[in-house]
Chains A and B, each alone.
Chain A
């Protein structure tokens, strides 16, 4: 397709926004239905067939609610934080190739850009918690910062390992390298690093922690911190946080798919294309939901212990191992 550049840009901005919006809305539905199935209950059934219009009803409800700005909050930052939370998720999606042809931008340093923007997400939640002038929100903000510092490091180490193996930060090239069949996927490139599945597990755990999902939902921790950083937010302010959470899950799962599971490459070597990408990505999203409704929350300090005492040493070890193997073999 050879569209004029501004038109192409506009199309992708709209596309990304629609994708994020639809995902956020319908992942809520999937989560509610899925949770209901795990808990032997029907879940939403009233609005539309099988409750399919429930997200729309929810959105209407949230939008019709008053945006309460409590007295004493830093009103500029308080309003800014939800926007800042949503924006990086959208920006990350702009770099993610859905297939050979479908990508907003094919950037050579896409990987750097994704991680740069996903860090802003943390800052924004912290900002919201801090601006709320609520003790629960401040505890939550403090937790988020230490949690994300702890988990960015092993995630980065894993990604560096991967970049060493692939020799590129271009997501499309990374996926292209995994063409062929399932054993070409980075997950199974055991000849370069026999610990590759371990690095995938580390990446997955870090992704759960970065997106503040159970069992690492320290930021929200509804039985401890009421709603954490989002306690003071009402209406769509809360709704945007909610959407951003799902957008971040989508970004995280999409990255995991691209980096480890061969992106849009088919596991049997033929018929590669966008359905494979979506299938793998949503399977990961489903597993994230599954984990949430299965496990209790971890303690905060064991969460940090897990990162600093287990994940970082192991990911460092895989990094060194990869370096040695690349040098020797």
Chain B
């Protein structure tokens, strides 16, 4: 029982409360070139937790960084950078390294993790990225599947100064260490984490070296 890429995308759309374009499909595998760029359309009103992208302006590249007002407070606030125009994006594996790129809000991280667990996915890694120019912290969850070799990237953005994401270590115990590492390096809090102490840094470390404003 290995889900196809389309089935995974549909499952995501149900969890996130967005609807996909009718009749679209995608083939899993490294050479899914024909499907790159297919995006889902989103509903604007029905979802209880609107994803940030639904209200986001068209994305611009991170390097420009022009559309960012400073001092954002809410997690759902629009940010520039690399947020796609739609929460569910198929990408070509050969171009980026994954098949499905899903952007969610911080609370939805738990739902997507449960979905991934249900579909038999495995947590590959948790990455934090400090977008200092946009005053945002991005947490990227990489999932992979042993049988179908589909790779899914789930990403969320939270405000930089109050970066908090729910922990998924209850669902994937392997996330425990990844989240501890992300916390110590970037200062992103993982709410509900059983032991958010430094893992690789000294146990009394209070600094977060991967923050862009970190001065050694």
Q: A contacts B directly in the complex (CB < 8 Å)?
A: no
- Which residues of A pack against B, CB within 8 Å? none
- Which residues of B pack against A, CB within 8 Å? none
